[in-house]
């Protein structure tokens, strides 16, 4: 199965539902779609609720999970269009993952093969590789996958090694997928302690080896079109709760990374991997609340197509 047939079709998560009509009004070029996606999400950690006039109780929107639900919320706020630059109050509260899911929904609707990649960005805080998710889009003209950050607006100017970051074509100096970061740390070419959710979050499971493992598993899930919330936990990840990566888990991650770190891989190979007991997404997953609420067990049967 080629990427054109697999990553161009919607997943249960990215299906836009009634928003298809609104997406039809967008341009079909990559820049237009990235620009539109960058206007849709108010980041629950990066934004200032009070200053930006966003009601604090909207923080619960980080659990909306599905593109059609997020689009319904967005199109109910202000002018029902995806082509405008929205004030914060008209956005949906979420994170990088939600910007990517909405972008994937729009790109796939336009017939563009696109997939989510979970990993780490070097352009958020200097000197750190921080938890992030971007999109990978097939460039038909150049016959290659290119990394796109749908969260960043044109005004979000960043430089790495004296070069301005191009949000439509990220390099490996700027973003490392989970498997590439895992391999680099295993090889000793990068310091694992520099990988984290945020520099100021000193929780063992949210940094270094456990989080490199976490994002490698999430990257695999996203590649198989089960785009999870970034804090969802299942299977192999529950063995990371002690802040360590057992040898058996590391061996599994080495195997995953040997496949998903390369630019081209067959979907069938990935789908065989995620059928393993330790990698299979169950009908119910463990979901911590990043805003401080209690941990929950959440039904994700829709995500896995049941």
Task: Report domain extents, the chain.
Answer: 3-299
- The pLDDT assigned to 44 comes to 95
> Any idea what DSSP says for residue 170?
B
Strands (E), the chain: 41-43, 92-94, 114-121, 129-139, 144-148, 159-160, 163-164, 175-177, 195-196, 284-287, 296-299
- The answer on pLDDT for 249 being more than 90 is yes
pLDDT in tens, 113-155: 999 999 999 999 999 999 999 999 999 999 999 999 999 998 8
Whether the per-residue pLDDT at 1 is higher than 80: the answer is no
Q: What is the average per-residue pLDDT within 270-297?
A: 95
Measured CA to CA, the distance from residue 121 to residue 138 in angstroms comes to: 20
Provide mean pLDDT across the span 210-237. Answer: 97
For residues 40-49, give the mean pLDDT.
93
pTM: 0.97
Arithmetic mean of pLDDT, 195-217:
95
Is residue 205 pLDDT above 70, yes or no? yes
pLDDT average, residue stretch 216-236: 97
**Is 247 in contact with 261 (CB distance < 8 Å)?**
no
Question: Per-residue pLDDT for 234 more than 60?
Answer: yes
Is the per-residue pLDDT at 95 higher than 60? yes
What does pLDDT average to over the chain? 95
Task: Report pLDDT for 46.
Answer: 87
Candidates 210, 213, 221; CA nearest to 273 is 221
pLDDT computed for residue 2 by the predictor: 67
Cα separation, 14 vs 10, in Å, equals 6
Instruction: Give yes or no for residue 172 having a pLDDT over 80.
Output: yes
pLDDT at 69: 98
**What's the rounded mean pLDDT across residues 160-176?**
94
User: Is the per-residue pLDDT at 226 higher than 90?
Assistant: yes
Under DSSP, is residue 128 helix (H, G, I), strand (E, B) or coil? coil
Q: By percentage, how much of the chain surpasses pLDDT 70?
A: 99
pLDDT of residue 241: 84
Q: Is 145 helix (H, G, I), strand (E, B) or coil?
A: strand
């Amino acid at each position: 199965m080629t990427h054109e047939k697999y990553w161009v079709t919607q997943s249960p998560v990215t299906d836009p539902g009634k928003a298809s009509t609104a997406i039809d009004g967008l341009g079909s070029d990559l820049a237009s779609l990235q620009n539109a996606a960058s206007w849709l999400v108010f980041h629950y950690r990066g934004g200032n609720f009070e200053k930006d006039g966003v009601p604090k109780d909207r923080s619960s929107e980080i659990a909306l999970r599905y593109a059609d639900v997020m689009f319904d919320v967005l199109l109910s706020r202000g002018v029902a269009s995806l082509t405008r630059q929205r004030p914060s109050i008209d956005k949906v509260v979420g994170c990088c993952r939600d910007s990517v899911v909405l972008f994937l929904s729009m790109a796939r609707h336009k017939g563009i093969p696109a997939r989510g990649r979970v990993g780490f960005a070097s352009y958020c805080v200097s000197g750190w590789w921080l938890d992030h998710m971007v999109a990978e889009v097939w460039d038909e003209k150049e016959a290659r996958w290119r990394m796109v950050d749908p969260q960043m607006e044109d005004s979000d100017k960043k430089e790495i090694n004296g070069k301005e970051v191009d949000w439509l074509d990220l390099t490996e100096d700027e973003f490392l997928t989970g498997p590439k970061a895992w391999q680099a740390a295993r090889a000793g070419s990068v310091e694992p302690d520099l990988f984290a959710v945020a520099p100021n979050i000193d929780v063992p499971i949210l940094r270094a080896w456990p989080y490199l493992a976490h994002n490698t598993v999430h990257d695999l899930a996203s590649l198989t079109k089960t785009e999870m919330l970034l804090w969802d936990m299942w299977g192999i990840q529950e063995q990371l709760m002690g802040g360590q990566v057992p040898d058996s888990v590391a061996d599994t991650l080495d195997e995953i990374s040997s496949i998903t770190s390369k630019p081209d891989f067959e979907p069938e190979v990935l789908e065989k991997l995620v059928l393993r007991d330790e990698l299979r997404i169950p009908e119910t997953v463990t979901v911590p609340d990043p805003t401080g609420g209690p941990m929950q067990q959440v039904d994700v049967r829709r995500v896995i197509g049941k």
